[in-house]
Amino acid sequence: MKVSIKGIGVLGGFGCGIGDLNKTIITGKSSSAAMVIKTTDGDIEVPAFLANTDRLKSFVSKRDLRRIDHYIRMALLGCFLALEDADMLHANRGKMGIIIATGYGSTCNTFDLQHSVITEAAPFCSPIQFSNSVHNAAATYISILLKEMGPNLSVSHYDMSIASAFLSAYQWLQEGRVESVLVGSVDEYSKILGYFRHCLYNKGNKKADFAGKMNHEYAIIGEGANFFVLTGENEANSPYGFIEEIKMGNFKRKGINLPENTAFFLGADGYSECDDQYVNYLSEDARVASYSHLYGGLPVGTGFDIAIAALSNKFGTVFKSGDSPIYNSDRLNVIRHNEDLGSRRICCLKLGAGGSYGWVSLNH
Amino acid sequence: MTIKEKLKKLIVETLHLEDIRPEEIEDDEPLFGEKLGLDSIDAVEIVFQVEHHFGVGIKNMKEGRPALQSINTLAAFIEARL
Amino acid sequence: MKPLAPVAIAGIGCICSAGLVLKECMDFLYKGKRNPAPPVNFSTKLTFPVFEVLEDFFQSNLFEENNILRTCKLALTATLEAISDAGFDRKILETKRVGACIGTNVGCSMHDESFANDGNTPFITPVNRFLFSNPTSSIASEFKMTGPLQTVVNACSSGSDALGLAASWIRSGICDIVITGGADEMYQITYTGFKSLLINDDSPCKPFDVNRKGLNLGEGAAVFILVSQEIEKEMKKDPRAYILGYGSATDAFHHTKTRPDGKGLKLAIEEAMETSGATLSDIAFINAHGTGTLDNDLVESRVLYEMFPGVPFFSTKGYTGHTLGAAGAIEAAFTIACIEEGRVPASVGFTTSDPEMPPAYPLQQNATINGNTALSETLAFGGNNSVLILSTGEHPA
């Protein structure tokens, strides 16, 4: 079954909206912010790609937004941008499902709550913060704001969250449970993640597992949201193309059967132990690219790769890859200049924790 | 700051009522009326903030409902238990 | 929606405060007693009663990974029982296309106390910790699986949603076997969080009763082994039961309050019935969500009266507490066991009806039932409504 991509909403370090992502792919550069974290050893500074949610106010009233934190705002804005792009903001949408994936969850809230409940002498817990930290809070808010009563699913499986979310979206459409699915993901920056980056890439830190595996300039923590409106095959062909296949499995136990005639977008981003293993599963002539230099390291980064793949379908171009020594091996065929997409499909592949893999392929 | 002033400031800040200044909340106006647009989650948040900042607990909403009618009733509830 | 193909359940495992295996849980339910108490697994000044698994249940010699969080231990324990119940050798999980889809309250978040306690300069091994906190990954790793993985974090309906989603994986042919269910441990943040929402009862909960004051939390896990028709043919014994139908719909109303007109629940029930092909007269009983909160029980009783007049219903949360992400799965396990036994337990905690509720009351005594098909429903924080139609036959009878 072909599942059409009708609209895309993205935000992250590159900006807000599919237009900003498009501009950023062309320039090949995203700007990071310098985040200062206080530690008992003094202040440390780490770069991060942050998302700005100011545009959300054009979709949702201030009053409706008052209790909503940054994590949920990113998800909401991603959803509204996708619906706007699909021209479905005000239309009679028919029955729509909503799926929101997250790798880390509502991290800032979770840590604040851990701090207030576990480490404080007199444990306390704000009800607003607690209810926002429940993992399906973002999906709840979007269903309320859209008045959408179809099925609603939240998933959180670290770096396989996107693949599993798309799998469920595909099956809902296949079974006829819904006419469209608003599916996507969100992850946020938090100081724990910033500290994590410092631990991994701080030169001279003997405990850093990843030291030397990647040039630390490229391993920047990212946050943001990526959302897609998907519909069944009766829709007119979308310029973004269609989702052809979703596969998940374990490459360490059973290898991977990858599709032919394909350009591969690799989910290497400096934060997975498998970043340097793509080379073991791709054929020598497979053309590959990585775009994490535009959106950063986050478990749901594959969603941004899918958005970029959709743009590739729209413009018939595979955009030049970012530079990174992780996968820049002699055996990998990196796309160093923009090139024609031709008849190729695009496979967004992520190798993840525990040997798991997930890929989402797009065609046009 | 009086208890009433402290309560108004607390409500505006912790419920993120950006459009309203603390002094715009009348002492006797219904907290759960049209003007402030508060709901049940705000109610339990106020209960939490009162316990956290004044050390005065509200066991359940049966006890809380009359106390949460207005700034006046809430301040009186707190003062009686300090 | 048109009816979908039934999906076979080869084996079930269940652990909660009522028992360490499903049979033990059912024996406990039929006795009609319960004994919730303040938590012992973590220290707290709060005294709201909960339903914990008090025994030292984790048999570490049976599992490769021992340094895992309690939620994962509960999930693995229930999985092992389910595999044994199915009559499988665990090696089959390595050779077939086997996926795992588990529901829980928190998935891969850094929901790990040691993060908090490391202070300002922790050394972090994040990937390993994510694996520890994720029951799906624990199961996949322990049983060396090679199929798709998903962790459902739909609050209280996670367990039932996981079952419904997993059934789709079998129907669509992407898996031969799916290990699915729900797991959640008694956790300090959740306990304190629910207290802050003022929906805990300070005494044993009373689902549907006029004097109900709120819920009691619980912990546990239930795991189901779903199999394809091909695997069914290879099995030495008949499947234990079938998932006939699944429906899911959202209230779109409020993030903690139930929608007063019950429309979300009605839509989910309609979809579950359509996909199962079952009619009203096929439903032998209903395993209600029945948490003991003022809102949930009121709305649920009205919907059940309107849509299933005369059909007996009960809540088992009086025996287990609200096990959150595990609830939908644990209650699905109870539902199937009740069909097998031909009897259902009393809805413990209910003694006096609420005049605001319609004149249909949950069971006050154990009762015998006829028929092979029943309905189990869960209503989640955030307004998710998830309904399963379960049967011990491929079709209602």
Cβ contacts of A250 within 8 Å, gap of 6 or more = A354, A355, A356, A357, C140, C145, C146, C147
Residues in chain C closer than 8 A to B48 (CB atoms): 196
What tens digit of pLDDT does each residue of A143-196 get?
999 999 999 999 999 999 999 999 999 999 999 999 999 999 999 998 888 887
- Judge whether residue A120 has pLDDT over 80: no
C-alpha atoms less than 13 angstroms from C-alpha of C31 in its C-beta half-sphere: 12
Query: In chain B, what is the straight-line distance between the N-terminal and C-terminal CA atoms, in Å?
Result: 16
Average pLDDT for A85-104 = 93
The pLDDT value given to residue C188: 86
Backbone angles phi, psi at C179, to 5 degrees: -95, 120
- Burial letters for C131-144: b for 16+ Cβ neighbours within 10 Å, e otherwise? bbbbbbbbbbbbbb
Average pLDDT for C139-159 = 96
- Judge whether residue C121 has pLDDT over 80: no
DSSP line for C318-383: HHH-B-GGGHHHHHHHHHHHHHHHTEE---TT--S--TTS-S----SS-EE--SSEEEEEEE-TTS
Report the SS3 class of residue C197: coil
Q: Are residues C17 and C327 in contact, defined by beta-carbon separation less than 8 angstroms?
A: no
Average pLDDT for A273-291 = 90
Q: Domain residue spans in chain C?
A: 7-391
Report the SS3 class of residue A187: strand
Average pLDDT for A124-152 = 91
Average pLDDT for C185-212 = 93
Q: What residue ranges define each of the domains in chain B, with the CATH number in brackets?
A: 3-79 (1.10.1200.10)
The pLDDT value given to residue A326: 64
Give the confidence band of C301 by pLDDT, cuts at 50, 70, 90.
very high
Beta-carbon separation of A149 and C197 below 8 A: no
The pLDDT value given to residue A205: 54
- Judge whether residue C219 has pLDDT over 70: yes
- Chain-centroid distance of CA A55 in Å reads 19
Give the residue from A104, A136, A142 with the most C CB atoms within 10 Å of its CB, the best one to mutate.
Answer: A136
Give the confidence band of A57 by pLDDT, cuts at 50, 70, 90.
very high
The rounded distance, in Å, linking the Cα atoms of A131 and C202 is 21
The pLDDT value given to residue A215: 60
The rounded distance, in Å, linking the Cα atoms of A270 and A282 is 19
Check CB contact of B44 with chain C, cutoff 8 Å. Answer: yes
> Pick the residue with more confidence: A196 or A65?
A65
- Judge whether residue C144 has pLDDT over 50: yes
Average pLDDT for A45-58 = 95
C-alpha atoms less than 13 angstroms from C-alpha of C342 in its C-beta half-sphere: 1
The pLDDT value given to residue C111: 53
The rounded distance, in Å, linking the Cα atoms of C52 and C45 is 17
Architecture of the structural domain at C7-391: 3-Layer(aba) Sandwich (3.40)
What tens digit of pLDDT does each residue of A342-352 get?
999 999 999 99
The pLDDT value given to residue B36: 86
Check CB contact of C146 with chain A, cutoff 8 Å. Answer: yes
* Range of the structural domain that residue A296 is part of: 3-363
For residue C51, the surrounding DSSP H or E stretch is strand C50-51
Cβ contacts of A280 within 8 Å, gap of 6 or more = none
Average pLDDT for A105-111 = 79
> Pick the residue with more confidence: A104 or A229?
A229
Average pLDDT for A289-298 = 94
Beta-carbon separation of B17 and A125 below 8 A: no
Average pLDDT for C40-58 = 93
Q: Give the ipTM.
A: 0.96
Average pLDDT for C93-113 = 81
Beta-carbon separation of C250 and A150 below 8 A: yes
Backbone angles phi, psi at C213, to 5 degrees: -125, -5
Backbone angles phi, psi at C393, to 5 degrees: -125, 170
The rounded distance, in Å, linking the Cα atoms of C262 and C296 is 9
Length reported for chain C: 397
Q: Which amino acid is at C306?
A: E
Strands A317-318 and A262-266: unpaired
Average pLDDT for C13-32 = 97
Q: For A100-169, give the secondary structure using H, E and C.
A: EECCCCCHHHHHHHHHHHHHCCCCCCCHHHHHHHCCCHHHHHHHHHHCCCCCEEEECCHHHHHHHHHHHH
Beta-carbon separation of C196 and B48 below 8 A: yes
- Judge whether residue C122 has pLDDT over 80: no
Q: Are residues A145 and A79 in contact, defined by beta-carbon separation less than 8 angstroms?
A: no
- Judge whether residue B59 has pLDDT over 70: yes
Full strand arrangement of the beta sheet holding A33-39: A33-39, A42-49, A221-222
The rounded distance, in Å, linking the Cα atoms of A13 and A52 is 8
Q: How many domains does chain A have?
A: 1
For residue B49, the surrounding DSSP H or E stretch is helix B40-54
The rounded distance, in Å, linking the Cα atoms of C210 and C390 is 30
- Work out the number of other CB atoms within 10 angstroms of the CB of residue A216: 19
Pick the residue from chain C with its C-alpha nearest to B47: C196
What tens digit of pLDDT does each residue of C60-87 get?
999 998 888 899 999 999 999 999 999 9
Give the residue from C94, C161, C250 with the most A CB atoms within 10 Å of its CB, the best one to mutate.
Answer: C250
> Pick the residue with more confidence: A61 or A330?
A61
Give the confidence band of C331 by pLDDT, cuts at 50, 70, 90.
very high
The rounded distance, in Å, linking the Cα atoms of C169 and C175 is 6
Please state which of the ranges A268-272, A283-287, C78-82 shows the lowest mean pLDDT: A268-272
Q: Between B and C, how many residue pairs show a Cβ–Cβ distance under 8 A?
A: 17
- Judge whether residue C277 has pLDDT over 70: yes
In percent, how much of chain B has pLDDT > 90? 72
Please state which of the ranges A32-41, A228-237, C178-187 shows the lowest mean pLDDT: A228-237
For residue A229, the surrounding DSSP H or E stretch is strand A224-231
Length reported for chain B: 82
The rounded distance, in Å, linking the Cα atoms of A165 and C162 is 13
Q: Are residues A84 and A231 in contact, defined by beta-carbon separation less than 8 angstroms?
A: no
Q: Are residues A109 and A69 in contact, defined by beta-carbon separation less than 8 angstroms?
A: yes
Running DSSP on this structure, what letter comes out for residue A62?
H
Running DSSP on this structure, what letter comes out for residue C26?
H
The pLDDT value given to residue A211: 47
The rounded distance, in Å, linking the Cα atoms of A259 and A282 is 10
The pLDDT value given to residue C130: 60
In percent, how much of chain A has pLDDT > 90? 66
- Judge whether residue A85 has pLDDT over 90: yes
Report the SS3 class of residue C96: coil
Q: Which chains touch B (3 or more CB pairs under 8 A)?
A: A, C
Strands C241-250 and C384-391: antiparallel
Average pLDDT for C148-163 = 97
The rounded distance, in Å, linking the Cα atoms of C157 and C55 is 26
Strands A287-289 and A262-266: parallel
Q: Which chains touch C (3 or more CB pairs under 8 A)?
A: A, B
Q: Are residues C193 and A116 in contact, defined by beta-carbon separation less than 8 angstroms?
A: no
- Judge whether residue C126 has pLDDT over 70: no
The rounded distance, in Å, linking the Cα atoms of C80 and B33 is 55
The pLDDT value given to residue A112: 77
The rounded distance, in Å, linking the Cα atoms of C80 and C13 is 7
The rounded distance, in Å, linking the Cα atoms of A122 and C212 is 29
- Work out the number of other CB atoms within 10 angstroms of the CB of residue C88: 20
